Structure 1
Amino acid sequence: LNAALAFARSQLGVQDNGFTVARTYTTESLGIMHVYLDQNVAGIKVQNGGVMVNIGSDGRVVSYEDGSYKGRDASKMILWTGASSSRFVKPNVAFNTLANYIKIQVDVSKLILTSVPATARKKVYYVLKGVPSVHKDVRVEQFYVHTRAGVLEATWKFSVRIGTHSYRAHISADGTRVVALYDKSSSSTSYNVIKANSASPLSSDRTLIPFQEDKVVWPEGWHSYGGDGVDYDTSGNNVLAMVQEKDASGKETETMAESASGQFDFPLDLQKDPRLHKDAGITNLFYINNMEHGLLFRYGFNEAAGNFQEINFSGKGEEKDAVWAYAQDAGIPNNAYFTLEPDGERSEMHVGPSSNGQQLRDGSLDNQVIIHEYSHGLSDRLTSGSHRDDCLITTEAMGMAEGWSDFFAILQTAKSTDRRDTPRDYGTYLHFKHPRRYMYTTGKKLNPTAYGYILGSNDKHYIGNVWTTMLWEVYWNLVDALGYTEAYDRPDLSKGNTLAMLLVINAFKLQPCNPTFTEARNAIIESEFRITKGAHHCRIWAGFAARGLGLKAKM
């Protein structure tokens, strides 16, 4: 504890009279003590001013987070004891602003406000009685919030449980504005999107899908703390989804989709300019990125392995590297890309709009393209460790990176009615056609590719086309033997499609930096031996051999 406090004082500027120790505990398996500090101003807590310091058993700082307010400009401080306090109102008056915002009917003149005296562990707070339909009386406390505009603002914090909602709301102390509001009932959010197992609007209409809680992979849901009156927006621990556009002055701004209720249900007309339905595209981009995060977490791309998260709840891996995903990037028409940085540094996904001269489309509605781009982050982070960014840079390795991304895109959008000779395309909503030379099928009339096809090629997408075809042969050998499950969101060793996905993901962790086709093949074979003890050894070899990458393959 002393080491954490010393670090906070010397490196973060924490002063003893402005912070209190909120909690400490030790995770024995990690050998780390977790120390949490609350910032306060004259004894009143700053809601989002917390400091976290993780100390190893050797007394060294493992990681930290500093959310404290550091402003010194008095004009940006609206204090409980300041000049503005004469305008402040009582909680029952301020509650009217919240009631109007969350659309509940209440007669504030009939509300009864009582105070609860302070104890040794808790400061004084208030209880608001008479609010209709709440599960229990509303709790009210004095707080501060520091906003995105750099203002430290006095607020009344209301805790309200009503219906399926559990609101925490900060209303300005003068009762005029919602400063921040969030809903701790994570099941209240929903998203009108293309289902994750559907390729695009060409294969499926949008569906309003509620958030499915999973405390292992999404301990605090998908949305971060909302400030400046925003209840929910498309930012969170795993991804920040937005469009970049210019304001009236010509300055670049980043705009997220926002929802007061948590219902991300925006209009969409596929026949009109995508810019008219940007919120629908941003929402789909946000949803699929989060779904990929959860899916791959369960398959082993977790915090320790170097996945993309702002906060790593396990204390493993590097933090502050959620994906920044940009929808409708006008600078890359008919295209998309992923810029990968090492663990702990921000990576970006960009998806452009597209046009065939007659119709405009929003690439952020093409799930296969989003999966493809996210999978670049997967393969790059897991090959030779997430601290590297130079292990898929040779021509052959870059080609396989494109192939892995296509493989995950078609695997996750496969159907139970598919057969091994069913031709599969990729990214046709964004590109208006299958952008690869050959369709994905084990049928050699439509796709005759083999190992020798990459000889002399410098086209990474063509090389990837060959590699995906090989993986597709392996996939179908496993599916034919074990069957297919639509519940691919968790690894199931008894089903062919989920086993194939698990084998390829774990092979990333075994293959060398800048692998060749044969080295990547060998890593998959080793992955299968480690997981299923060679039960499918022959099926995997047969899949590769069908495309010229058998035991005696040479280039």
Structure 2
Amino acid sequence: MTQLIDKRNLDYDRLTEVADAGAFLDETARVAESVHHTLIAEGSKVNRFTGHLTELRVEGAPALAERARDGRPDGEYIARAKEYLASVAEAIGFASGEPAEFEADPKVMATSEGLRVVSLQQVLNGIEVWGMAPKVWLREDGAVDRVVGDTASVGVDVPTMPAVPPEAALTVAAAEAAEPRTVESPFGTDELPALDVSAGFSRLTHQALNAQPMTFDQGPFDEVIPARLVYLYMGDEVRLAWSFRFSRDRGAAQYHALVEADDRTADPAAPQILYFQDLTSHVIAGRVFRRNPAESTFDRAPFPLPLTDYPTEPLSKPLPGFPGDWTTRTNGHVATAGNNVLAVDGATRRSVEIDVDPEGNGVFDPEPDTPEQFVTNIFFFCNYMHDFFMTLDFTEEHGNFQTVNVTGLGKGADPVHAFAHPGPVIGTANMATPADGSAAVMNMGLVARSGRHTANDADVVFHEFVHGVTNRLVGGLHDANGLRELQSRAMGEGWSDFFALTTRNFFQDRERTVVGNWVVDSDQGIRQRPYDDRYPGGFGDIGKGPGELPDGLDYTKIHNVGEIWCAALMDMTRRIGAALDSKQRGYRVAWQAVVDGLKLTPKNPTLLLSRDAILRALRDLAGDKVTEAEYPAVRRAAWEAFARFGMGFDAFCPNASLRGCRAGTQLPPQGHED
């Protein structure tokens, strides 16, 4: 993914414009007196670009009134979160009387230990303030525990009506999205041809209110084009902008554009693009290969697999409808199509279908290295990951991928549409994840230089599937669009590598530390270095290139920065296993902490914000996955892993860009709460 145009002044330091850090913390103390409980703010947890806190810890906040045993409706948590954020807005960075308005994702997430997470979107005049989407953590009784994520000051004098017609803005944005481009991936490069947008675009829906979205026809792109107004915080100013999204080449290329819409444009008929980002994740991604043709035999596996085949621990309580059938029987046939996954041949758009006997028995038995086998294998891999993450509480209510949600929670109608293409595809492998209720699309293709197919490699399919999980859990169910800043996108790659490796390493005596080695036919895989205990990069290297680092290391690229995050998570997993004297328990605790941490993580996080979410999730596992006596050693193990990679207690970054990352190796002081 590439930031093609970004006219924000990311070097802007608002904190120096409004107050020094000491005065900022004094304001937090004043607000604490007004709300009659403790607020804890740290100067290191300020986004200097916005001048606002990215984390406000809360102690002693009042609980909501007692509820009956059947629990508390989401609406109560949402109302409490919005009310509370308004009451402490000045502690976060808003000036007195400055608007601090938020809309909530209607679905409240819950971690495996019961912490409720309300996802908010900052708005003004009903218009989204782009990229400013904090989360409020609440205990089950409704007491606020923490406010995390980015907010920004937006003055009341910003325009509410566009001076630029949406058609004029769309013309400019579409021309940029239609440009020919070279798409780089670990497998090589692909060329996207230019598209002809000269015919223009017609409105399909119109705005009843200025803040409402509209849509335009797709023209030469894959899908209709959504458009809406947003406020873009630029640093030293705030601009009203038109927001557009484009998809092309079967979703392999996706773009987001923000085009000026206010009266500051020099020419309303030819406005400028303020921000243009390539959203595409160009990464590596019956009888089946359970890993890949080099590391597993081509054998029968039951569809679905028994839960005992998974590395996660048995569920403490049953989940309705789980584990469900992977296939659906129709007129004596089953196909690579079920509630979780629809897998088809990318050329024919057909699934693999077989006959079953009267009792419903049948076997997908394709020949290796055939289109039918690729489709069957991608179907197996995607269903495996669906069930794996179900056991870690990525369920229907949290936005998982299913056609029908038997609990009635979540939106359903969004299985993974997995395409196994007979030849190469753009980026070789990719996955697009829209909001809950819209199907995710995965594309797997042939690696030209090796002649091997990504649908046969668990590294690739698992990696891509995890992109869907992280986009939904961090982004929220409303738009699954929470990993857009550079550090955030890098972590998307790191989380994906982490699960691709650890889900397999659990069962292996020898730890596997390279990704994609089979599919590219190279022992080195597709990353700069193996993810072993000698991995060289760290937080302080972010933003530095070969001229500043030894041995050709380069941390100016998204995938490479993601390596630092994956290496830290793998080290954390090893250390937790050592602290518990059990590799298996270490993996299980780490996985649950990472998934719960994703739910707690606000949109567009830094590595340090995501670190803190994992540490808090670990704390909540004390008394369950780990005993109270074991917890101090587990916590220390996690902190030591992050410190090993420069993400210690004294690490700092001014925002979620790749600029200004300062490594720290200290552990937290005695008595510090995560």
TM-score by length of 2: 0.47
Return closer, same or farther for 1:208/1:216 CA change in 2, 3 Å cut-off: farther
- State the alpha-carbon separation in 1 of the partners of residues 397 and 645 from structure 2: 35
Residues 322 and 254 of structure 1: is their aligned pair in 2 closer, same or farther, counting only changes over 3 Å? same
Q: Secondary structure at the residue paired with 1:344? A: coil
Point out where structure 1 has 5 or more consecutive residues left out of the alignment. Answer: 1-27, 32-190, 246-252, 487-494
Q: Which runs of 4+ in 1 moved over 3 A?
A: 28-31, 211-220, 262-265, 415-419, 483-486
| 1:86-120: CA deviation from partner (whole Å, max 9, x where unpaired) | xxxxxxxxxxxxxxxxxxxxxxxxxxxxxxxxxxx
Provide the residue aligned with 2:292 in structure 1: 200
Instruction: Tell me if structure 2 keeps the 8 A contact 1:384–1:509.
Output: no
Please point out which of 323, 341, 348 is paired with 2:416. 323
CA distance in 1, matches of 2:470, 2:288: 26
Give the structure 2 partner of residue 432 of structure 1.
521
- Alpha-carbon distance, 1:386 to partner: 1.8
Distance 1:480 1:511, change over 3 A: same
Post-superposition offset of 1:344: 0.3
What displacement does 1:390 show?
A: 2.2
The answer for the alignment partner of 2:373 in structure 1 is 280
One of 493, 497, 517 as aligned partner of 2:587: 497
Does residue 1:364 correspond to 2:468, yes or no?
no
Give the superposition deviation at 1:355.
3.1
Does structure 1 residue 236 correspond to structure 2 residue 338? yes
Offset of residue 224 of structure 1: 2.6
1:263 matched to 2:362? The reply is yes
Measured in 1, the distance between the counterparts of 2:403 and 2:345 equals: 20
Q: Which has the higher contact order (CA 8 A, sep 6+)?
A: 2
Q: Distance in 2 between matches of 1:236 and 1:267?
A: 19
> Alignment partner of 1:210: what SS?
coil
1:163-212 deviations in Å (ceiling 9; x for gaps): xxxxxxxxxxxxxxxxxxxxxxxxxxxx21122xxx31111112211234
For residue 349 of structure 2, what is the aligned residue in structure 1?
254
Alignment partners' CA distance in 1, 2:324 and 2:644: 46
**Aligned partner of residue 256 in structure 1, secondary structure:** coil
Show the 5 A alignment for 1:414-493.
414-416=505-507, 418=509, 422=511, 424-433=513-522, 434-442=525-533, 444=534, 447-456=535-544, 457-484=555-582
Structure with the greater alpha carbon radius of gyration: 1
Moved more, 361-370 or 327-336: 327-336
* CA contact 1:240–1:322 (8 Å) conserved in 2: yes
Match of 1:523? 613
Give, in whole Å, the separation in 1 of the partners of 2:346 and 2:379.
15
Counterparts of 1:501 and 1:207, CA distance in 2:
28
Which residue does 2:325 correspond to in 1?
A: 221
Hey, what's the Cα distance between the residues in 2 that align with 1:312 and 1:29? 20
% identity of equivalent residues: 28
Quote the Cα distance in structure 1 between the aligned partners of 2:388 and 2:648.
31
Answer whether contact 1:328 1:363 (CA < 8 A) is retained: no
Report 1:176-215 matches (<5 A). Answer: 191-195=286-290, 199-211=291-303, 212=305
TM-score (norm 1): 0.57
Cα distance change, pair 329–401 in 1 and its aligned pair in 2 (3 A): farther
Give CA deviations for 1:461-488 in whole Å, capped at 9, x if unaligned.
Answer: 10111110111110110122335567xx
- Cα distance change on mapping 1:342 and 1:258 into 2, 3 Å: same
1:369-426 superposed Cα distances (whole Å, 9 cap, x missing partner): 111101001111001422223210111100000000000000011055546xx56111
Q: CA deviation at 1:217?
A: 4.9
* Structure 2 unaligned blocks of 5 or more: 1-69, 74-285, 308-318, 545-554, 623-627, 653-660, 662-674
What displacement does 1:263 show?
A: 3.4
SS of equivalent residue, structure 2 residue 614: helix
**C-alpha offsets along residues 320-379 of structure 1, whole Å, 9 cap, x if unaligned?**
0000001125352672111010000111011111232xx522211101111110100111
Q: Is the 8 A contact 1:312 1:319 kept in 2?
A: yes
Q: Which residue identity lines up with residue 442 of structure 2 in the other structure?
A: M
In the alignment, what sits opposite 1:374?
465
Report the CA distance shift for 1:483/1:337 in structure 2 as closer, same or farther (over 3 A): farther
User: What is the CA–CA distance in structure 2 between the aligned matches of 1:511 and 1:350, rounded to whole Å?
Assistant: 27
Match in the other structure for 2:638: 540
The alignment's C-alpha RMSD in Å is: 2.3
Residues 215-236 of structure 1: per-residue CA shift (max 9 Å, x gap): 745465111352xx56000001
